[in-house]
Amino acid sequence: MIQKYFYCVLFLLVCSLSFSQNNVVADIKVQGNKRLKTSFVKKIASVKPNMPLDSLRLDEDMETLKRLPSVSHAYYHVYKTDEGSYDIVYNIEESFTLIPSPSIYTTNNDEFAFRIGLTEFNLLGRNIGLGAFYQHDVYDSYAVNFRAPFLFSRRFGLAFNYQDLTTLEPVFFNNDSADYKYNNESVELLGLYKIDFKNRVEVGANYFTENYSYVSGATDPNVPQGLNVHKWLAKFIYEHNNLKYHYQYVSGFRNVFNFQYVTSTNDMLPDFHIAWDDLFYFKRIGTKGNWANRMRIGISTNDKTPFAPFSVDNNINIRGVGNTIDRGTGSIVFNTEYRHTLVDKHNIVLQSNVFVDSGTWRLPGGSLSNFTDSNNIKVYTGLGFRVIHKKIFNAIFRLDYGVGLTQDATRGIVFGIGQYF
């Protein structure tokens, strides 16, 4: 009896080993790619030869590929070999990745600013981004950016940024304001680490110089007319990304937390902490609709300073409000919009957009009750259009017109590249 039991167990073990040896990935092939390197695709893929066949890993690899700037769509096929193992084929539809980035924004106060840039998002066929831009917002500015999230491995990467930005900024104090010429010159180095499919972190430092020069408006003995301050900034970013993409449609959750500690050499711009969290939620509505939402909550050290870090701005949080009309040491912003595909022909998509942007701010040195003060609450609504090219990365030309619903509201047009959020 014992001998029969032993042979039965041995037989089952042999069958199990035989099955597990056959139910493996023999080879991975990549097709459809022209500029994107096959070796790079295999490098970042979680499925490797001689691993057990796992449909969940294959699905994750497809989402990983679709998040790359160089890929507009990806899917896979599984083929069984004569030996009983499996060959995997990753099919890739590439995006054009040498992208200009014009941005224009105005308000009914006749303000006008623009930015023009050029970025290659798939340098050397390895998902390396290298770009630069020129901006005119009363004054001239420029920047250079380098980002290689898979530079060292499928988990480790590096980013480097240099910018020299100059703008005309309003400074608010004693129920009055003045215009300052503001310059920020900075050098930043970041380490990038992908924890797993859904989670990643960035850690790094930024050395920068801030320069404020009085131009016009109110003055105050306690507010200097000139500042030149050297600062160090330590940065930590954590992202949880569970979004799913199908061309212009997005669904799922994404959360990005950003914390910074800034040191200063001037008491007028003292050391401070700043943190903000962006929560995104997207939902497909029928076959042509997409509901998009963003909630941003930010807080910083509550110094009573006219140079507070959070701004109310046309091109960042409230469409139609104007170019930096107020500042604060805390911010709560909610953006919601419904995107509807009007035309979807081959590679071109025309999309309409109905939105509501709302936000409130804590005044410098103020209390949390500022968030519920009607004078600090901004609500804008409006319409927009998007022209999208499916095979060109971020080729989303947007035009929005926002109208204020709250006290002393303005109205204005915002034009740019990419979805607003």
pLDDT tens digits, residue range 219-231? Answer: 888 888 888 889 9
The residue-averaged pLDDT of 134-145 equals 93
What confidence score (pLDDT) does residue 308 get? Answer: 83
Q: Which residue has the higher pLDDT, 317 or 264?
A: 317
Q: Judge contact between 333 and 295, C-beta under 8 A.
A: yes
DSSP state letters, 160-219: EEEEEEEEEEEEEETTEEEEEEEEEEEEEEEEEEE-SSSEEEEEEEEEEEEEEEEEEE--
Q: Judge contact between 20 and 34, C-beta under 8 A.
A: no
Is pTM beyond 0.75? Reply is yes
Position 122 pLDDT exceeds 60: yes
Position 9 pLDDT exceeds 60: no
Every domain of the chain and the residues it spans: 2-94, 98-417
Minimum mean pLDDT range among 92-106, 107-121, 239-253: 107-121
At residue 115 the predicted structure's pLDDT band, cuts being 50, 70 and 90, is confident
Query: Mean pLDDT for the chain?
Result: 90
The residue-averaged pLDDT of 140-156 equals 96
Q: Which residue has the higher pLDDT, 380 or 103?
A: 380
At residue 97 the predicted structure's pLDDT band, cuts being 50, 70 and 90, is very high
The residue-averaged pLDDT of 155-174 equals 90
Minimum mean pLDDT range among 117-121, 165-169, 268-272: 268-272
Residue 392: exposed, middle, or buried by beta-carbon count in 10 A (0-12, 13-18, 19+)? Answer: middle
Q: Which residue has the tokens 């994107």?
A: 36
Q: Which residue has the higher pLDDT, 264 or 363?
A: 363
The residue-averaged pLDDT of 150-179 equals 90
Position 305 pLDDT exceeds 80: no
Q: Which residues of 297-325 are buried (b: 16+ CB within 10 A; e: fewer)?
A: ebbbebbebbbbbbbbbbbbbbbbbbbbb
Minimum mean pLDDT range among 14-18, 39-43, 87-91, 332-336: 14-18
Q: How many angstroms separate the CA atoms of 103 and 106, rounded?
A: 11
Task: Assign domain 98-417 to its CATH architecture.
Answer: Beta Barrel (2.40)
Position 14 pLDDT exceeds 60: no
- Find, among 243, 328, 339, the residue nearest to 287 by Cα: 339
Position 164 pLDDT exceeds 80: yes
Q: Which amino acid is at 20?
A: S
Position 113 pLDDT exceeds 90: no
Long-range Cβ contacts of 143-148 (<8 Å, 24+ apart):
145/119, 147/192
Q: Which residue has the higher pLDDT, 383 or 314?
A: 383
Position 22 pLDDT exceeds 80: no
What confidence score (pLDDT) does residue 2 get? Answer: 60
Beta carbons within 10 angstroms of residue 363's beta carbon: 20
Which H or E run includes 60?
A: helix 55-66
Position 1 pLDDT exceeds 90: no
- Sign of the torsion formed by the C-alpha atoms of 296, 299, 305 and 307: negative
What confidence score (pLDDT) does residue 18 get? Answer: 45
Position 110 pLDDT exceeds 70: no
Q: How many angstroms separate the CA atoms of 241 and 73, rounded?
A: 18
Q: Which residue has the higher pLDDT, 177 or 3?
A: 177
Q: Check if 2-94 and 98-417 are the same fold.
A: no
Calculate what percentage of the chain has a pLDDT beyond 70. Answer: 93
Position 16 pLDDT exceeds 60: no
Q: Which two tokens stand for residue 323?
A: 């170019």
Lateral strand order in the sheet of 25-31: 25-31, 86-94, 71-80
The residue-averaged pLDDT of 358-370 equals 93
Q: How many angstroms separate the CA atoms of 96 and 115, rounded?
A: 21
**What CATH number belongs to 2-94?**
3.10.20.310
What confidence score (pLDDT) does residue 15 get? Answer: 45
What confidence score (pLDDT) does residue 271 get? Answer: 85
Calculate what percentage of the chain has a pLDDT beyond 90. Answer: 69
pLDDT tens digits, residue range 24-48? Answer: 999 999 999 999 999 999 999 999 9
pLDDT tens digits, residue range 283-294? Answer: 999 999 999 999
